[in-house]
Amino acid sequence: MILDKKEASVLTRMDWATLPDTKSAISKREVDEETGLELVFMRNPQSAGSDSMVMITHSVAALRDGDMIFAASLEALDLRSLSSALGESVKNLQMEYGVRGFLTPERIVLYGNGEKEDLGVYLGERRDDEIFDFLRSLFEDSFISGSEDDPYSDWIVE
C-alpha cells in the first residue's frame, strides 16, 4: 500500500468497523518528522465499529489534521464471538485455527485510501516496543515523499 500524505482519503467508521479507535488505549503519540503526520500508538484499542469478533492487540494510526488516513494493526479473531455467530463450538474452532486459547493468530492489517490489506500472520517479537517499531516501519514504507527530486514513480512497479 503506497499513499501520498496530501492525497490519502480520510478513513471513517463507515469504511471499516475494525479500524482502531484513536481515542482509546493510547500508549504514545508523536509527530513523524519526515511526513509531519501525527502517529498514535495503541495497545488493545477499541475498534471504531461494533465488530466484537475482531480484537486489535496493537495499532499505529497516522492522523492528518486530526483525521485518520492510515492504520497498521495486529488483529485476531475472538473465537468465543465467532462461535456464537456461527453456532459452532469453540473447541471445533480452536482445532480449525490450531490454537488452544480464544484468539486466532494475529494478522497484520493495513488500512488506507479506503482499502484494507492483509499481510498475513505476525511472526515477530512479542514485546510492545518491538511490535510498535514494526508497525512504525509499515507506516514509513507506506508513504511516499512526493518531492520532485525523489520521484516515487521510479521505483513503483505496476
| Full residue range of the structural domain in which residue 17 is found | 3-154
Distance CA 156, CA 136 (A): 21
Total domains present in the chain: 1
pLDDT tens for the chain, 158 residues: list them: 777 788 888 998 888 889 999 998 999 999 998 888 999 999 999 998 776 789 999 999 999 999 999 999 999 999 999 999 999 999 999 999 999 999 999 999 999 988 999 999 999 989 999 999 999 999 998 877 555 555 544 444 43
- Three-state DSSP class for 136? helix
Q: What is the DSSP string of 35-78?
A: T--EEEEEESPPBSS--TTEEEEEEEEEEETTEEEEEEEEEEEB
Q: What's the CA gap between 122 and 60, in Å, rounded? A: 15
pLDDT given at position 16: 87
Q: What number of other Cβ atoms are within 10 A of residue 41's Cβ?
A: 21
**Which residue from 119, 118, 88, 121 is spatially nearest to 104, judged by alpha carbons?**
121
Query: What are the residues whose beta carbons fall under 8 Å from the beta carbon of 40, sequence distance 6 or more?
Result: 22, 26, 29, 60, 61, 63
How much is the pLDDT for 42? 96
Q: What is the pLDDT of residue 158?
A: 39
pTM of the model: 0.85
SS3 for 28?
A: strand
Q: How far apart are CA 4 and CA 143, in angstroms?
A: 6
Q: How many CA atoms lie within 13 A of 83 on its CB side?
A: 15
